[in-house]
Each structure stands twice: as C-alpha cells, then as structure tokens.
Amino acid sequence: MAKKSYAKKLTPGQMVIISFPASDWTQTLSELINKHRVGGVIFFKENVPRTLSTLKKLTARIKKESIRSSGLLPFISVDEEGGRVSRLKELIGEYPVPLDLAKKGEWAVKKNYASLGRKVRSAGFNLTWAPVLDVHTNPKNPVIGDRSFSSNPSTAAKFGKIAIKALRGAGLFTCGKHFPGHGDTFADSHLELPVVDATMATLNKRELVPFAAAVACKTDFFMTAHVLYRKVDPKNMGTFSKKILTGILRRKMGFKGLIVTDDLNMKAAGGTHRERIKRAIDAGADVLLIRDQDPIGFMETFESMVKKGEISQKRIRESLARIKRIKSRL
C-alpha cells in the first residue's frame, strides 16, 4: 500500500527545477512546492539571504515542505562553480577559477572541490551545477573562458572527473555542462543563439571527450547547451535536438542519468514557453530548468500541456523513473 501511495505523488512537476523571486519563504514558493510539487529549486544571487544561518533555515524548510507534499526530496540547487560563477561567495568564501586551478595539478583540484562541496552542502544544498566540462578552444568565447579546465580535451576530462568525484564525496549531486559543448562559441547563449560549424568527427575528438569521461564516472546530470551545431543538426540547437540528446548522449554514449536544460528563458531558446517545453522534452530532456519572474505561470503552462496530451506520456514516464532513481540515492 505504501508503494502505491508513493507512486501517486510522482507528478510531472518533478520534471521542473525553478527559480523563485525572493530570498525567504513566500506564498509563491509555498505554491510551487505544495500545489505544483516541483522537483526542485535553483538559487540565484537574489535568492540568497544575507546570513548563512538564514539560508540554512530556508533550504531546510524547502526540503521539509517538499518531502511532505511529494514524498520525494527536492533538488535544492545553486550555480556554484567557483571563480566568476558563484552565488554563495559572500557566505562561504571565494574559490579560484577552474582554468587557474587546473594549472596547480590534480591534488589542488581535488582539495578545492571537496572543500567547495562541503560548504555548499552545509548550507543546505544537495546539487551544484558544476563542473564545467566545456573545452576552452575559442579564446574569444564570451561566456566560458576560464570556467573551463583546459583547452586540451584529455586534460579537461581528467580534471572534470576529479571534480565530480570530490563533489560527490562531499554529498552533492553533480552536473557536467554544457552538452555537447559550449567552448568553441563566439556568442553568449544568454543573449543570442551561438552557431558552431564543427563536424561530428571534431566533436568526437574534442567536445565529447570530457563528457564521455563523466559518463564513465556516472555523473548525475548533464546540462544541455543552447548552441546550434549545424553540421550535426542543422535545425535544432543542442537543447532541442533529439539527434544530440537521445541519439548521441543516450544511445551512443550510454548516459543513464538526468538530462537538464540550461535556463529555458535564455534568449537563445526563442519561442514561447509552450514551444520550449515541448521541444526540450521531445528531444530527450528529463528536467526543465527555468528562471522566470512568473514561476506559477510557467508551471500552469506545463501542467496544461500535460493535461491536454501535448507532451508524450511515454517521455514523461521515462523521465520520472530516472528522477525517482536518482533521488532515491539520498
């Protein structure tokens, strides 16, 4: 009987990790968790309270309310890479950029991510959107740069694995990003759609090397890239490409974890919420990540699409099964 009750609570809302416009408990956050049963939340700088103790109380309440409403632990996540992508540095201290860190060697990388992971975990988070597995091949790249470990695929793969293992050892879920690669772009996908002309042969030798290493060490998530690889899929950027997410990542590379979109409100995604949701899930995404000023509206749109049959029930069942399996680790 307990299993039946548990299964009933496994709603499609588990497929969404969403932001909330506040740094404390609000009616909006309560509704997201208790009514829409979202799978998790993402903290940005505006969501982080001024003190560590206040942050811990907020994350603890999110956890408690989520378990009560859905029977599942929530993903309580934050972009904490170290370097210039850090939401918590005012509370946990500053960590070096990956590119500089990698120059100090394996022990420095392991020590850094173990420390970072412990501090993120102690603040109440169970997921950090790290490490970056992009290969830093374009010195004019406006968004990756020193967030990458290296311009050498094998070096990026080696340090990526070390970071994943150290973060996992600290008790966090881990995420390699941005699949199949964002290192060779001239544009920032927050502002426009980057286009890369690399062939599949080039991807196999370069971009995919760190991701293959992360598959081998069983990272929990891969975050998609809002990048159009037009010689691989001329019509769809990575986030919306079934060829890339299902064909390459799932079938060819054998990834068993969760595929999460990069923020669906970035300019590169284009279209309406309905179009973005459908294209991402049809392509193979399990989790929709969204930073939105109207999170309730986004959830209502998503739930309406599910109710009307606009999204494949087969895809929803596949993704919910993966989410349940990953969350059961905690």
Annotated catalytic residue: which of 262, 263, 273, 286? Answer: 262
Question: What are the two backbone dihedrals, phi and then psi, of residue 17, each rounded to the nearest 5 degrees?
Answer: -115, 120
Residues in the chain: 330
Interhelix angle 273-283/295-307, nearest 10 degrees: 60
Strand order in the sheet with 75-78: 127-128, 75-78, 40-43, 16-18, 288-290
- 63-78: buried (b, 16+ CB within 10 Å) or exposed (e) per residue? bebbeebbebbbbbbb
Annotated catalytic residue: which of 146, 190, 282, 292? Answer: 190
Give yes or no: 36 in active site.
Answer: no
| 136 in Cβ contact with 183 (< 8 Å) | yes
Give yes or no: 100 in active site.
Answer: no
Q: Which residues are catalytic?
A: 190, 262
